[in-house]
């Protein structure tokens, strides 16, 4: 993921129990590549992002497929 996304760091997360967003009953870890120029969350302050109101647009399926292919090529 460092090569594919030019990542300089990562955020790691998992969802636990239904209320925490888990919809398949098994553990999986989300790895979010980060770089200095991105506009994501850079300070871990849960009150600023975990409980935000509203929704976020879902990533298009084709985009997710292309990301998976890019990662596979680097394995």
Nearest alpha carbon to residue 32 among 51, 59, 13: 13
SS3 71: helix
Contact call for residues 45 and 51 (beta carbons, < 8 A): no
Domains in the chain: boundaries = 2-73
Per-residue pLDDT of the chain (75 residues; tens, 9 = 90+): 899 989 999 988 888 898 888 888 899 888 888 888 887 666 665 555 555 556 667 778 898 899 899 999 999
Q: Where are the beta strands (DSSP E) in the chain?
A: 9-13, 30-34
* Tokens linked to 32: 């979010």
Contact call for residues 33 and 7 (beta carbons, < 8 A): yes
């Amino acid at each position: 993921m460092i090569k594919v996304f030019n990542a300089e760091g990562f955020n790691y997360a998992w969802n636990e129990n239904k209320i925490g967003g888990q919809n398949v009953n098994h553990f999986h870890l989300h790895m979010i590549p980060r770089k200095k120029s991105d506009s994501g969350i850079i300070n871990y302050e849960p009150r600023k992002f975990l409980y935000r109101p509203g929704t976020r647009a879902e990533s298009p399926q084709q985009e997710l497929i292309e990301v998976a292919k890019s990662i596979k090529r680097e394995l």
